[in-house]
Amino acid sequence: MSILVRWLSISSTIRYPLIPMVLDKSGLGERAFDIYSRLLKDRIVCLMGSVTDEMSSLILAQLLFLQSEDKRSPIHLYINSPGGSVTSGLAIYDTMQHIQPPIYTWCIGQASSMGSLLLTAGTPGYRYALPHARIMVHQPSGSAQGQASDIQIQAEEIIKTRKLLNSLYSKHTKQSLEVVEKWMDRDFFMTAEEAAQFGLVDKVLYPTPSPGGKMDERIGKKAN
């Protein structure tokens, strides 16, 4: 694990200039980890920020590493993302579907565009959103320039991508293609409760009234 930890630590500093360090105590003594590497030890992966090629590479490496460590224990993927590159997002999506460990997805803050697809692609029954999270879906966008034939090729590719994304949302939410196409026509924002009702997540987690209490699970309902 030490090689991957060092690589992730170096790569993370490119995006996050200040990385908190924590001490991990064991029978062999104390060892310092950057916070993301320490979370990785507990099978927690953080997708925080835009879905880029760099971010995708980091997420893929962590997912594949965790599978090599343990093929049965779940992986917890925390998402707070405005979305980003479709191809980078689909690389993460395909890896999530390919590896053997179940993947529990958690939306904190927002899961928009490709972020929302990765959220709903988690293991059924274990897709969560916190109460003030926002989920947004929309159709893919792009730009093209050059000769008319080049522009036509790009336009056709965007249409193919839109159909693919629609089918994936339909598969994971159990909604009809007609319903999904209506969502995707424009930016469609949902609260956590609405996302649960539409099938993008399974549960909304609310804090219990008691101090220090655990999160209370509700499907589209506020905790009493």
Tell me if residue 11 is catalytic: no
Catalytic residue among 88, 112, 138, 172: 138
Catalytic residue among 113, 141, 170, 210: 113
Tell me if residue 113 is catalytic: yes
3-state secondary structure 153-204: HHHHHHHHHHHHHHHHHHHHHCCCHHHHHHHHCCCEEEEHHHHHHHCCCCEE
Q: Count CA within 13 A, CB hemisphere, residue 132.
A: 2
User: Please, which residues have CB within 8 angstroms of residue 35's CB and are 6 or more apart in sequence?
Assistant: 19, 20, 21, 22
190: which strand partners?
135
Which run of H or of E encompasses 148? helix 148-173
Outline where 46-103 has alpha helix (H).
53-69, 86-98
Question: In this structure, are residues 56 and 91 in contact, taking their beta carbons and an 8 Å threshold?
Answer: yes
Residue 125 carries which side chain, given as an amino acid letter? G
- Residues marked as catalytic: 113, 138
